[in-house]
Amino acid sequence: MGDKSKPNDSKGQEQVYQPSDSIVKNAHVADYDTLYKRSIEDREGFWADEAAKLDWYKKWDKVLDASNKPFYKWFTGGKTNIIQNAIDRHLKTWRRNKLAIIWEGEPGDVRTFSYHALNREVSKFANVLKSMGVRKGEIVTIYMPQIPELAIAMLACAKIGAAHSVVYGGFSVEALAERIQDANSRVLVTADGGWRRGKITDLKTIANEAIGRSATIEVCITVKRTGQDVYMENDRDFWYHELMGLPIAGAKCETEQMDAEDMLFILYTSGTTGRPKGVLHTHGGYSVYTATTHRYVFDIKDEDRWWCAADPGWITGHSYIVYAPLINGSTIMMYEGAPNHPYPNRWWQMVEKYGISILYTSPTAIRGLMRFGDQWPQRHDTSSLRLLGSVGEPINPEAWRWYHEIIGEGRCPIMDTWWQTETGGFVITPLPITPLKPGSATLPFFGHEVAVVDDNGKDVQTGEEGKLVLKAPWPGMARTIFGDPERYKEVYWKDYAKQGWYKAGDSARIDEDGYVWIIGRIDDVIKVSGYRLGTAEVESALVSHADVSEAATIALPHELKGNAIYAYAILRTGLQGSPELEDAIKKHVSHELGPIARPESVTFVESLPKTRSGKIMRRVLKARALGVDEGDLSTLEE
Ligand code: WT7
Rounded Cα distance between 437 and 430, Å, is 10
At 77, the amino acid letter reads G
Q: Is 391 in the pocket of ligand 1 (CB under 6 A)?
A: yes
Is residue 558 within 8 A of residue 396, CB to CB? The reply is no
Choose between 311 and 47: higher pLDDT.
Answer: 47
Q: Is 393 in the pocket of ligand 1 (CB under 6 A)?
A: yes
438 φ, ψ (degrees, to nearest 5): -55, 125
Instruction: Tell me which residue has its CA closest to atom 14 in ligand 1.
Output: 420
Residue 411 reports pLDDT greater than 90: yes
Beta-bridged to residue 452, according to DSSP, are 468
Rounded CA-CA distance 213/176 in Å is 9
For the CA of 390, the closest atom of ligand 1 is 17
Dist. CA 382 → ligand 1 center (Å)? 27
Number of helices and strands in the chain (H, E): 21, 32
DSSP secondary structure string for all residues of 195-221:
EETTEE--HHHHHHHHHHH-TT--EEE
Our answer on whether the CB atom of 508 is closer than 6 Å to any ligand 1 atom is no
The pLDDT tens digits for 175-209 are: 999 999 999 999 999 999 999 999 999 999 999 99
Write the pLDDT tens digit of every residue in 480-511: 999 999 999 999 999 999 999 999 999 999 99
* CB burial string 531-547: b at 16+ within 10 A, e below: bbbbbbbbbbbbeebeb
Which residues are within 8 A (CB) of 439 and not within 5 positions of it... i.e. 6 or more apart?
A: 394, 395, 396, 397, 400, 416, 517
Q: What does pLDDT average to over the chain? A: 95
d(CA 142, CA 150): 7
- The pLDDT value recorded for residue 3 is 56
What pLDDT does residue 179 have? 96
The predicted pLDDT at position 467 comes to 98
In 3D space, the residue among 161, 187, 339 whose CA is nearest the CA of residue 259 turns out to be: 161
Mean pLDDT of 113-126: 98
Q: For residue 13, what pLDDT is reported?
A: 53
Q: What atom in ligand 1 is closest to the CA of residue 316?
A: 4
pLDDT in tens, 529-547: 999 999 989 999 999 999 9
pLDDT surpassing 90 at residue 5? no
CA angle 396, 291, 16 (to 5 degrees): 30
Q: What are phi and psi of 316, to 5 degrees?
A: -55, -45
Q: Indicate whether 9 pLDDT > 50.
A: no
Of the candidates 507, 502, 525, 518, which has an alpha carbon nearest to the alpha carbon of residue 597? Answer: 525
Expressed in angstroms and rounded, the spacing between residue 557 Cα and the centre of ligand 1 is 16
Which residues is 196 bridged to in the sheet? 199
Q: What is the pLDDT of residue 630?
A: 84
For residues 261-267, average pLDDT: 98
Pairing outcome for strands 480-481 and 139-143? unpaired
Give the residue among 137, 484, 488 at the shortest CA–CA distance from 282: 137
Task: Let me know: does 283 contact 258? Beta carbons within 8 Å.
Answer: yes
pLDDT tens-place string over residues 328-375: 999 999 999 999 999 999 999 999 999 999 999 999 999 999 999 999
Any ligand 1 atom below 6 A from CB of 532: yes
pLDDT over 90, % of the chain: 91
Residue 97 — pLDDT band, cuts 50, 70, 90?
very high
Query: Out of 1-15, 115-129, 567-581, which region has the weakest mean confidence (pLDDT)?
Result: 1-15
> Minimal CA–CA distance to 454: which of 515, 513, 495?
495
Share above pLDDT 70 across residues of the chain, in percent, rounded to a whole number: 97
Cis peptide, bond prior to residue 342, ω within 30 of zero: yes
Is the pLDDT at 270 greater than 90? The verdict is no
pLDDT at residue number 12: 45
Considering only CA atoms, which of 499, 622, 595, 599 is closest in space to residue 173?
595
Q: Which of 290, 419, 507, 522 to mutate to test the pocket of ligand 1 (most atoms within 8 A of CB)?
A: 419
Q: Write down the pLDDT at residue 631.
A: 83
pLDDT at 612: 82
From 289, 527, 533, 563, mutation site for ligand 1 pocket: most ligand atoms within 8 A of C-beta = 527
pLDDT digits over 462-486, tens only? Answer: 999 999 999 999 999 999 999 999 9
**How many residues can be counted in the chain?**
638
Tell me what the mean pLDDT of segment 575-593 comes to.
96
Pocket test for ligand 1, best of 393, 403, 468, 522 (most atoms within 8 A of CB): 393
User: 419 alpha carbon to ligand 1 midpoint, in Å?
Assistant: 5
Dihedral pair phi/psi, residue 92, rounded to 5°: -90, 0
Whose C-alpha lies nearest to ligand 1, atom 24? 392
φ/ψ bin of 133: left (φ > 0), alpha (ψ from -120 to 50), beta (otherwise) = left
Nearest CA among 505, 451, 488, 496 for reference residue 72? 488
Q: What is the mean pLDDT of residues 367-386?
A: 97
pLDDT 10s digits, 422-466: 999 999 999 999 999 999 999 999 999 999 999 999 999 999 999
For residue 271, the model assigns a pLDDT of: 76
Q: Which bin fits 275, alpha (ψ -120 to 50), beta or left (φ > 0)? A: beta
Can the peptide bond before residue 70 be classed as cis, meaning omega within 30 degrees of 0?
yes
> What is the rounded average pLDDT of the residues 577-583?
97
| Nearest ligand 1 atom, CA 429 | 17
More confident residue, 217 or 618: 217
Confidence category of residue 8, pLDDT binned at 50, 70, 90: low
CA 224 to chain centre: 26
Ligand 1: centre distance to CA 391 (Å): 6
From the list 278, 319, 336, 276, the residue with the least C-alpha distance to 144 is: 336
Distance from residue 608's CA to the centre of ligand 1 (Å) = 30
Task: Please choose, from the candidates 285, 416, 301, 423, the residue with its C-alpha nearest in 3D space to the C-alpha of residue 360.
Answer: 416
Q: Cβ distance 298 to 387 under 8 Å?
A: yes
d(CA 363, CA 561): 9
Does residue 419's CB lie within 6 angstroms of at least one atom of ligand 1?
A: yes
If DSSP codes are grouped into helix, strand and coil, which group holds residue 151? helix
Beta bridge partners of 195: 200
